[in-house]
Structure 1
Amino acid sequence: MEQSYKEERFMFEAEGYRLPAVLSLPQGQVVKWSILLLPGSMANDVDGNYPGIPMRPHMYADLARQLAGHGHAVLRYAKYGEGTGAEIVDEQQVKAHRFFARQRYIAEAAVGKLRAMVPQAKGLALAGHSEGSVHAMLIEQQSASGIDALISLSGPALRYMDLFIYKAQAMAKEQGEIIDFGAFKVNARNYIRAFELMRAGEPFTEEIKADPTMEFFVKSWDPANPLAQDGQQYMRDYDAIDPCSEIARVTSPVLIVQGGMDESGVHADNGERLYQARHTIYPETTQLAFFPDLQHFYKRVQPGVSWQETQAMSEETDSRVSEAISTWLDGLND
């Protein structure tokens, strides 16, 4: 029977930021595992909402509370951005690392915080969502990390820019030269070529610059814009990592959780790709939990619902996910 939970809210400092954080704890039972939730690529508040969009899946709060109800201690935290409650307290420290790597250092500091707050836990697991799963893979590989298990939540199996390239290629086969993402239409050839050029660190061609469907992207990624330079550097840093290669280097037990209706950059087949990459080397400690009807934030999707509509879903995260995670963790202690 599930237990109730209690939560401790505090401000957590790392990499020059002060970040809102919440520790969810089981009430009325001994703590089993401690779990750190690593957030994905966008700026989220402590519950996993995205004020800058706005989008309110509150997945991190849902998962943390559900897992606490199963007897686990879960730490979650916000990422810096407008409306997230996070603030910069040391500009120089913030600049010590580039943005992509900075997220890993923040997560490492959070691991230390969680150990200190819940020293009695039977083990410590990293649960990285989307981009956070890639950081979790890299942290686990450090000999001093002492991570006991890794959970990939809607994690990518492809290099960052390949996520966009492969999606556009698939859509072009169905739709032709101009592909419709719903919020915008774009010339598939120029869109794909733009990502290839960014990967190589080369300027856009005159054809791309003159393409009216690429106007937004050209302005957003203009090398003369300092913010665009930072964004492209982030994308190249992320793109340099092959998640399938990295997950194969993780020695702790791995659970891969994937929704079959995931179209948020990460695609539904990414879970199977990650599973096969790791299962080939560690078959006994690799498990896949696949939910055909769930999207990127593990909301149940009805047939015929558009991708844009799935992004706006705000109901509670499906409890089957936390149940699968808890059952898997409990089995590691048997």
Structure 2
Amino acid sequence: MEQPYQEEHLALEAEGYRLPAALTLPQGEKVKWRIVLLPGSMSNDVDGNYPGTLMKPHLYADLARQLAGRGHAVLRYAKYGAGTGAEMVDEKRVVAHRIFPRQRYIAEAAVKKLREMVPQAKGLAVAGHSEGSVHGMMIAQQSEMGVDAFISLSGPALRYMDLFIHKAQEMAKEQGEIIDFGAFKVNATNYIHAFELMRARKPFTEDIKADPTMEFLVKSWDSDNPQAHEGQQYMRDYDAVDPCIEIAKVACPVLVVQGGMDESGVHADNGERLYQVRHAVHPETTQLAFFPDLQHFYKHVVPGITWQEAMAVDAETDRRVSEVMSAWLDGLRE
């Protein structure tokens, strides 16, 4: 049964940013675990909504409040971007690190902040959502960070470029050479080859450049815009990390949480992949929680719904997820 919680809003200053953050605590109770929620790849506000899009899942606020109701202290924070409330306060500090590693350093600052704000607890856990899962497993490997448990929430098991390649390959089996992502259609062969060339740092072929379905990708990748160059470097930095290799290196206990209706780019089988590679090395401290009816943000969806419709569902995050997280954490130190 969930108990009352209290919430304190604050600012997390890290890497030249001032990021809106929130600490959610059980009201009048001793804290069980301290948990840091690491956000995914897009710019989100402190609750886990994405300004300027139809995606308002409030996943991070839901999880924080549900977990606080079960006795845990949870810190969550926004990512820099339009409408998120985040501010750049030191541009020199911001550009000291590239986009992808910068997020890990921000996450490390959040871990230190939570330990400072809540000094007494059974342990400290990092729960990374989507791309945040990748940063979380890297942080959990660092003994000096003192992470006692790691939770992967809808985390990728494939390298970044492979997420796009694998998705296109699977869609091509069903749809043929022209695949429909809903918002756009592409030639599957050229689309897959484009990501292979991007990984190899090779120029696009003339066939790809002449393909009208590839125009958006060609323009964004060949652009001289400094922001485009930053985006390219981000993709390469992300692609350099193989989550299946990294999660096997995590020494602390690991829980993998995956929805069976996840079609966000992270696929429903990613949870099983992460679980299997970690379980092969650490069978006694690896657990998988799979929810067949939940999407990327752990909302209930029915078969047949498009991925765009699924991502726009704004119902409360399914409480089964926070329940399994809490029960797993409580069981680690009994």
TM-score range normalised by the length of the shorter chain? over 0.9
The answer on 1:202 being equivalent to 2:202 is yes
Q: Give the Cα separation in 2 of the matches to 1:84 and 1:193.
A: 35
1:256-312: CA deviation from partner (whole Å, max 9, x where unpaired): 000000000100000000000000010000000000000000000112222111011
Q: Give the Cα separation in 1 of the matches to 2:167 and 2:307.
A: 13
Q: Give the Cα separation in 1 of the matches to 2:109 and 2:46.
A: 16
The answer on 1:3 being equivalent to 2:3 is yes
Query: Which amino acid is 1:35 matched to?
Result: I
Q: Give the Cα separation in 1 of the matches to 2:114 and 2:29.
A: 18
SS in 1 for 2:192: helix
Tell me what 2:178 maps to: 178
Tell me what 1:120 maps to: 120
**Aligned Cα RMSD in Å?**
0.8
Tell me what 1:18 maps to: 18
Query: Which amino acid is 1:250 matched to?
Result: V
Alignment check: 8 A CA contact 1:43 1:52 kept: no
Tell me what 1:164 maps to: 164
SS in 1 for 2:6: strand
1:184-210: CA deviation from partner (whole Å, max 9, x where unpaired): 100001111111111111121121111
Q: Give the Cα separation in 1 of the matches to 2:128 and 2:120.
A: 22
Tell me what 1:240 maps to: 240
The answer on 1:57 being equivalent to 2:57 is yes
Tell me what 2:39 maps to: 39
Tell me whether 246-255 or 49-58 shows the greater mean CA deviation: 49-58
1:145 Cα offset (Å): 1.1
SS in 2 for 1:164: helix
Q: Give the Cα separation in 2 of the matches to 1:222 and 1:49.
A: 31
Q: How does 1:1-334 map to 2 (within 5 A)?
A: 1-334=1-334
Q: Give the Cα separation in 2 of the matches to 1:298 and 1:79.
A: 20
Q: Give the Cα separation in 1 of the matches to 2:53 and 2:130.
A: 17
Q: Give the Cα separation in 2 of the matches to 1:231 and 1:56.
A: 24
SS in 2 for 1:179: strand
Query: Which amino acid is 1:34 matched to?
Result: R
List alignment gaps of at least 5 residues for structure 2. none
Q: Give the Cα separation in 1 of the matches to 2:12 and 2:170.
A: 42
Alignment check: 8 A CA contact 1:3 1:28 kept: no
SS in 2 for 1:263: coil
Tell me whether 275-284 or 195-204 shows the greater mean CA deviation: 195-204
Q: Give the Cα separation in 2 of the matches to 1:154 and 1:55.
A: 16
Q: Give the Cα separation in 2 of the matches to 1:28 and 1:318.
A: 25
Alignment check: 8 A CA contact 1:19 1:86 kept: yes
Q: Give the Cα separation in 2 of the matches to 1:7 and 1:123.
A: 20
List alignment gaps of at least 5 residues for structure 1. none
1:223 Cα offset (Å): 4.0
SS in 1 for 2:222: coil
1:199-250: CA deviation from partner (whole Å, max 9, x where unpaired): 1111211211111001111112224222111111100100000000000000
SS in 2 for 1:35: strand
Q: Give the Cα separation in 1 of the matches to 2:97 and 2:146.
A: 23
1:140 Cα offset (Å): 1.0
SS in 2 for 1:221: helix
Q: Give the Cα separation in 2 of the matches to 1:308 and 1:90.
A: 36
Query: Which amino acid is 1:98 matched to?
Result: R
1:28 Cα offset (Å): 2.8
SS in 1 for 2:258: strand
Query: Which amino acid is 2:64 matched to?
Result: A
TM-score with structure 1 length normalisation?
A: 0.99
1:161-197: CA deviation from partner (whole Å, max 9, x where unpaired): 1010011011111111100111110000111111111
Identical counterparts, % of pairs: 78
Alignment check: 8 A CA contact 1:157 1:273 kept: yes
Q: Give the Cα separation in 2 of the matches to 1:83 and 1:55.
A: 13
Q: Give the Cα separation in 2 of the matches to 1:47 and 1:287.
A: 27
1:42-90: CA deviation from partner (whole Å, max 9, x where unpaired): 0000000000324100000000000000000000000000000001000
1:23-56: CA deviation from partner (whole Å, max 9, x where unpaired): 0000132100000000000000000000032410
